[in-house]
Amino acid sequence: MKRIFAVISFVALTLSLATAQRLPELARPDNYKLTFTPDLDKATFEGDETISLHLLKPGSEITLNAVDIDFHEVTITAGGIPQKAKVTPEKEKEMVVLSVEKPLAAGAATVHITYSGILNSEMRGLYLGKDDQGRKYAASQFEATDARRAYPSFDEPDYKATFDITAVADKGLVAISNQKIISDTAGPGDKHTVHFATTVKMSSYLAALVVGNFEYIEGAADGIPIRVYSTPGKKEMGKFALESAEYILTYYDKYFGIKYPYGKLDLIGIPDFSAGAMENTGCITFREVILLIDEKQGSVNLKKEIASVIAHEMAHQWFGDLVTMKWWDDIWLNEGFATWMETKPVAQWKPEWNYKLDEVSDTAQTLNTDSLANTRPIHQAAETPAQIQELFDGIAYGKAASVLRMLESYLGEETFRAGVNAYLQAHQYANATADNFWEAQAKTSHKPVDKIMPTWVQQPGAPMINVKAQCSGNTTNVMLTQKRYYIDREKFDAPNDQLWQIPICLKGSASGDGAKCELMTKREESFTLPGCSTWVLANARATGYYHAGYQPGAVRALASDAETKLTPAERIVSESDVWASVRVGHEPVGDYLAFAQGLQADRNRAVVDNVLGHLNYIGKYLVNDGDKEEYRAWLRQYLAPAMKDVGWEPKPGESDEQKTMRTRMIGTLGYQAHDPQALAEAKKVADQALADPASVDHELAGGAFRLAAMNGDSEFYDKLMAALKNPKSPEEYYIYFYALAAFGDPKLLQRTLDFAVSPDVRSQDALSLIVGVMRNPAGEKMAWDFIQSHWDAVAKAGGPFASAEIVGATSAFCDAGMRDQVTSFFSAHKIEAAERTYKQSIERINNCVDLKSQQEPQLASWLGQHGTAGGN
């Protein structure tokens, strides 16, 4: 599965008190024959199911998972003797026990079930959605534990079976599933019956069915037909996705050493979709906006996301689908692997987009979450559906991916790939554990992977490596110490005995381009580098999952050499390392700003992105009211040379990186620096885009609308609302949509909040609009009040697991009063499975309050010396 938007946004929430447990080991399925007859008007479906299974021991019971299933008739046949079965629900376990009078012998049996189910509106199981024209469709989303809402099943990942799926659909509706269609015949009545070919052996959560009005474009790669489906009128916007999928499939066939095993590949854009995308075998489903894009006008950022999400889901076709984790506690290996893998094919396809630098930024982001006391180890036990759902978080995706990247760098790309191949070969069409993966990697590499990995997987957090370098003759002695890094400075300064085995790479000012790579296994270790270096970088090559802390003198020396002696990736890690030292009070914020000044001439999009992220943070949280103007002036001055180089308007033939960098810089100038020229340019672009949407590319338009909204009036607001009704692409829709959260006028923001919970907004989008208002300084408190007073509506939006997004968004507050409100509200409105997210939010607020008290005066004095008024 692919989460959407914020790292913290896809943590679970449960409103039920489900405490499902494991199925008893009584039987294992071999094949499911499933016929679904959806009734879109009544929002129900009829199911006819035959499970071929083998009983592991004699007995008179079979237990299956089932939720919201109305059983009509159940017959169990063993030894040629059919018996009607009694159905006893065990609701709290999400199971049913099927029992017969005469005992069943061990061995082959079949269970035939006729039943009805609900096409729910919660975007899970088999659910009902509506496209832009109001046409209804049914779609499935089974991961993690919702297949049981569509068919009674052994709904645990290691009960793999083959599937023969049939859909009985209304005339004119298309049916899509995991396999190719083998027959499509008229009847019964005015319906038609679509039989799909037998699938490979796979887990219950990977079955899929979509029935509705869809059309497609088609291509192929390596002998596999590939289709991109959309609701009517949008298929041409699938071209970029198709081209991506073709490239990626060819790449993966080579990389994995096993050809794509499902015969065909469909990618389907679905208007109502709770996650970002889902890797059902041969039938990947997506939110429309992450699949369909106007190729000419579409933004580079969205194209990058579409390509990498497709690469993510396609990586799962091997890693996750072909070889599946035995139990959900290893879901991190699936998600971490797919997240790590998703940039590989696309970085080769589009080198100009610098995906590899985005990975470095992602690692820095993940380290930020992992530096909280309330983080979790990668490996975590989970039993109930809520606990399982909660595992799909930034640690499972981001941290696991970063750790794999570090491991690949340590072993070498080809050695690591050989380990991946060996693991897939050994466990294809079956299940495996993370230990099986380490064993394969240790065996192929002859390196202590099985010793290194547990230190990253079993314990929470990440270390900071403190670097002390001293020159002696023509050698630099480097003393390294490791200690768990916490943003909470008291915790960081307290004793801590966690220990990691860390693949490190060192590089000094005098050691040229070569890096020295070692495995650090002790708390304190010394290494030497040739030459006499003024600084030594502890994360050369930028693939390490740790922070590095430097002596103040070394930071200054590093800053002045950054542009000439560090790669862009190394500049990104050093910059975030200096920030990490500021956060724990080991360096004043002025040292960070001095480092940023050292990068002022940097024209690398990814580096600029990271610096601006921190400058925006400082502007939002650390500048006191009296210094706001001074800081804004400093920012304008800081960005002036870069703006001069990049220009306000797109130039013919410029790179995609230049385009995204411009938008980012104008954004900071407008938002943080309140720069009159940036705001005027944005208004100009927004007006032009409203008058003629085809005339402005979405890269520029997205940023421009949000800035134009800051000072926008009700007339501008009404224009956005009107434009929202007739967008030419999903991206265009979201440009208008999110601009509604960026207004400065409280009356207009109130309209946005009311609109978010109205029937005009898709359930999956409601919360991100509210969170948008919450992130807007002008709407922060208003959004929070709205959430509290409209909690019933808010908690219902976005599907059963979404309102944790709201819990996560409260982490944007930075004062004790708001923290106390958050605490008292969520104490009264407990969200069982967002407990960790809640604790993290409170911790983030506390950290921010502490940082403010600690650095605000330092910042004021730095601005006094270095601001525009103070000369320099």
Q: Residues interacting with Zn ion, by CB under 5 A?
A: 1, 335, 338
Q: Which residue in this structure is represented by tokens 């060996």?
A: 422
Question: Judged by CB, which is closer to Zn ion: 337, or 638?
Answer: 337
Contact 218, 267 (CB under 8 A): no
Give 146's DSSP letter: T
Two structure tokens written together for 61:
């019971």
Give least dist CB 204 to Zn ion, A: 17
Between 335 and 835, name the residue whose CB sits nearer to Zn ion.
Answer: 335
Whether 1 and 392 have beta carbons less than 8 Å apart is answered as: yes
Beta-carbon count within 10 A of 237 CB:
23
Measured from the CB of residue 123, what is the shortest distance to Zn ion in angstroms? 17
Rounded least distance, CB 339 to Zn ion, Å: 7
CA 863 to chain centroid, in Å, comes to: 37
Cβ proximity to Zn ion, 1 vs 400, nearer residue: 1
Our CB check for Zn ion shows the closer of 288 and 335 to be: 335
3-state SS class at 550: coil
**Residue 289 to residue 768: CA distance in whole angstroms:** 14
How is 360-417 classified by DSSP, letter by letter? HHHHHHHHHHHTSTT---SS----SHHHHHHTSSHIIIIIHHHHHHHHHHHH-HHHHH
**CA proximity to 704, closest of 722, 682, 726, 723:** 682
**Nearest residue (CB) to Zn ion, 152 versus 345:** 345
Contact 19, 386 (CB under 8 A): no
Structure tokens at 759: 């029937």
- Smaller CB distance to Zn ion: residue 1 or 462? 1
CA distances from residue 642 to 430, 531, 597, 664, 684 in whole angstroms, order as listed: 54, 35, 12, 12, 21
∠ CA 355-360-364 to the nearest 5 degrees?
140
Distance CA 576, CA 611 (A): 9
Whether the CB-CB separation of 847 and 488 falls below 8 Å is answered with yes
Closest CB to Zn ion among 391 and 794? Answer: 391
**Smallest distance from Zn ion to CB 331, Å:** 9
C-beta of 338 vs 646, nearer to Zn ion: 338
Residue 422, Cβ neighbours under 10 Å: how many?
A: 17
Q: If we measure between CA atoms, which residue out of 63, 74, 73, 52 comes closest to residue 26?
A: 63
738-741 — which CB contacts under 8 Å span 24+ positions? 738/702, 738/706, 738/768, 738/769, 738/772, 739/705, 739/706, 739/708, 739/709, 740/709, 740/769, 740/772, 741/769, 741/772, 741/773, 741/775, 741/776, 741/779
DSSP, res 631? H
Q: How many CB atoms lie within 10 A of CB 98?
A: 21
What is the torsional sign of CA 445, 448, 450, 454? negative
* Min dist. Cβ of residue 251 to Zn ion (A): 18
Helix crossing, 676-691 with 698-710: angle to 10°?
A: 120
Taking the least distance from each CB to Zn ion, the nearer of 168 and 206 is 206
Q: How far is the CB of 834 from Zn ion (least distance, A)?
A: 20
Least CB distance to Zn ion at residue 25 (A): 28
Q: Write down the least CB distance from residue 417 to Zn ion, Å.
A: 20
- Cβ proximity to Zn ion, 321 vs 335, nearer residue: 335
Residue 328 vs 717, nearer CB to Zn ion: 328
**Number of neighbours of residue 88 by Cβ within 10 angstroms:** 12
Q: Which residues contact 475 (CB under 8 A, 6 or more apart)?
A: 528, 529, 530, 531, 532
For residue 49, give the amino acid letter.
Answer: E
Nearer to Zn ion, 312 or 614 (CB): 312
Out of 61, 313, 408, 805, the active site residue is 313
- Measure the CA–CA gap between 452 and 436, rounded to whole angstroms: 15
Tokens 């990618």, residue located: 267
Residue 141: CB minimum distance to Zn ion, A = 13
- Pick the closer one to Zn ion by CB: 231 or 274: 274
Q: What is the DSSP string of 784-806?
A: HHHHHHTHHHHHHTTSTT-THHH
Angstrom distances, CA of residue 314 to CA of 180, 273, 278, 324, 357: 18, 18, 10, 14, 22
Please state the length of the chain.
872
Q: Are 506 and 540 in contact (CB under 8 A)?
A: yes
To Zn ion, the closest distance from the beta carbon of 240 in angstroms equals 21
Closest approach of Cβ 647 to Zn ion, in Å?
Answer: 39
Residue 113: exposure state from Cβ atoms within 10 A (0-12, 13-18, ≥19): buried
Contact 536, 558 (CB under 8 A): no
Tokens of 278: 């889902």
Least Cβ distance, residue 328 to Zn ion (angstroms): 13
CB of 313 to Zn ion, least distance (A): 7
- Is 657 designated active site? no
The catalytic site residues sit at 313
